[in-house]
Amino acid sequence: MAYTTSKSLLLALQSGDDVPWFEFFTTYRPLMIVCGNDYCLVPHELEELCQQVMLDIFKTSKTFRYNPQKGRFRDYLRQVIRRNAIDIIRRRGDQAEAAETAVDCAVDPMAAKWESEWRAHVLNQALVQLRNDLEPRTYQAFELYALKGEPPRAVAQFLGIPLGRVYLAKNRATAKLRRMVEQLQDI
């Protein structure tokens, strides 16, 4: 599947095509699961959360217009996830926990955690795409040296490439990764 920027993915969702919906789900499901875990949802509730969030997004997709001046998509997505997580807790029948969660959500103590989770999500998405975009040995040199902290000489020896290629792989991959993250971070 070709990489689609989040802005273009949001626009493609409005067409109702199956491919953008599948891409949206596979892109954002891990984030929904992480957020559901923050609300202490159990596995079947996590699946319900993902389905409800997708349903809410689908219901509004024909009228939803991404407008960066009005706000970021990630803030909208966070609200949809929070609202659905609270609804699931309410349906449990634990009214005290639901009321406490609703109060906590009004203050939104998880906003900082959401930002951290969003950044991790964006980085993971960018790394997946970087791996797909780079020649395998180049990505492997970048991963071993830049991500795992292996000594460059050991990486060069392990991969059977010149030491200069290890440094070059790290520099080029890091620059490309930064551009990808910046592109995705604005959403």
Per the CB < 8 A criterion, the answer to whether 138 and 169 are in contact is yes
Mean pLDDT along residues 37-56: 91
What is the pLDDT confidence band of residue 176, given thresholds at 50, 70 and 90? very high
Q: How far is CA 19 from CA 1, 15, 61, 185, in A?
A: 9, 10, 14, 22
What is the pLDDT confidence band of residue 97, given thresholds at 50, 70 and 90? low
- pLDDT reading at 184 higher than 90: no
Mean pLDDT along residues 51-80: 80
Q: How far is CA 166 from CA 93, 132, 156, 158, 171, in A?
A: 57, 18, 6, 11, 9
- pLDDT on residue 90: 87
What one-letter code names the amino acid at 148? K
Domain layout of the chain by residue ranges: 1-110, 134-187
Q: Which CATH number fits domain 1-110: 1.10.1740.10, 3.40.50.300, 1.10.260.40, 3.10.100.10?
A: 1.10.1740.10
Mean pLDDT along residues 72-98: 81
- pLDDT on residue 1: 35
What one-letter code names the amino acid at 129? Q
Mean pLDDT along residues 65-92: 82
Match 């005290």 to its residue by tokens: 96
Mean pLDDT along residues 4-32: 72
Summary mean pLDDT of the chain: 81
Contacts of 82 (CB under 8 A, 6+ apart): 35, 105, 108, 110
- pLDDT reading at 106 higher than 50: no
Structure confidence by residue, pLDDT tens digits, 130-175: 999 999 999 999 999 999 999 999 999 999 999 999 999 999 999 9
Q: Which two tokens stand for residue 52?
A: 């409800």
Mean pLDDT along residues 46-55: 93
